[in-house]
Amino acid sequence: MTDTTIIEGKGRTLWGDVWDQYKTHKGALIGTGVFAFILFAVFLGPYIYDVNPQYLNIREKNQGPSLTHLLGTDQLGRDMLAQVLHGGRVSMAVGVIAMFISLLVGTLVGLLAGYFKKLDGPLMRLTDLFLALPLLPLLLVIIMLFRDTLRGMFGPETGIFILIVFIIGATSWMHTARIVRGDVLAQKEREFVLAAKSIGTPDRRVILRHILPNVLSPIMVSATLGVANAIITESALSFLGLGFPSDFPTWGRLLFDGANYMTLTPARVVWPGLAISLTVLSVNFIGDGLRDALDPRIRGR
């Protein structure tokens, strides 16, 4: 019995167990499929449906879905499907890059605050300060102050992209920092960390080799949720007219441009709104699945 158990256990790996648990979460599998389809559509779709999203044809303005224009046209005769596909690229890029910025800042602050007792108080008070700030008004003020400067330096599209990505990433790291700090406080009292310290291992090596790998679970979950949060924030800013210019479509900008034509062509706000909703829901389901799969108590290890 013992030999059989050992032989059966030889093939088990950490990521194999994670995948086995992830497969049991039906919502996560559906979310993965939907998110993969959206990624395929926005990054490869424009090569298949090669219609110029900026091509104007006033004669075909405000049309509903047809064989010529599958999702209809806007008030300038531009193809809505082409705009949704190209706008998805920008929204996804904003979500992923802003997530990496917030994840990097949040993980760094959480590791330092949890491991070094002297830094815990100041860093957590800084985190509380950012949490107390009203984020949407703060974002609006920052955009109004620096929008024209960055436009002049990098161009209208690139300047706004850099500004929006930076401010979303710089104002959404606090929850990651708190989660990572709590896990670091628990991990640094474990036996393997105390043993590493007892033989004179430098703090930097202890953090990178012993503590960081054991707090990857909440970091990965925060990463998935951070993408959804960044996409929603960018969409809100674009919907308020403070995001990208109208000739640089994103899903939020398409919603803003179509709001005045809802009674005439309601499909104009349905499709970008549906794209945002499906993306956020699928990412949230993936995060739920990862949270369960990376929890050793649920995996039974």
Q: For 148-158, what is each residue's pLDDT tens digit?
A: 888 888 877 78
| Calpha distance 123→116 (Å, rounded) | 10
Q: Is 140 exposed, middle or buried (0-12, 13-18, 19+ CB in 10 A)?
A: middle
| Calpha distance 291→228 (Å, rounded) | 16
| Calpha distance 65→69 (Å, rounded) | 6
Q: Which residue has the tokens 């790291």?
A: 173
Evaluate whether 49 touches 289 at the Cβ level (below 8 Å).
no
| Calpha distance 167→105 (Å, rounded) | 12
Structure confidence at residue 268 (pLDDT): 83
Per-domain boundaries in the chain = 25-46+53-62+69-299
Neighbours of 280 (CB within 10 A): 18
| Calpha distance 238→233 (Å, rounded) | 9
Structure confidence at residue 33 (pLDDT): 93
Enter the tokens of residue 28. Answer: 């996560």
Structure confidence at residue 14 (pLDDT): 62
pLDDT-flagged residues of the chain (< 70): 1-12, 14-15, 246, 295-301
Structure confidence at residue 297 (pLDDT): 57
Structure confidence at residue 108 (pLDDT): 92
Structure confidence at residue 189 (pLDDT): 83
Residues with Cβ within 8 Å of residue 26, at least 6 apart in sequence: none
Residues with Cβ within 8 Å of residue 234, at least 6 apart in sequence: 91, 94, 95, 98, 164, 168, 243, 250, 252
Determine the CATH number of domain 25-46+53-62+69-299: 1.10.3720.10
Structure confidence at residue 146 (pLDDT): 83
54: which DSSP letter? T
Please give the full DSSP string across 232-300, using - where no structure is assigned.
HHHHHHHHTT-SS-TTS--HHHHHHHHGGGTTT-THHHHHHHHHHHHHHHHHHHHHHHHHHHT-HHHHT
Structure confidence at residue 2 (pLDDT): 41
Structure confidence at residue 125 (pLDDT): 92
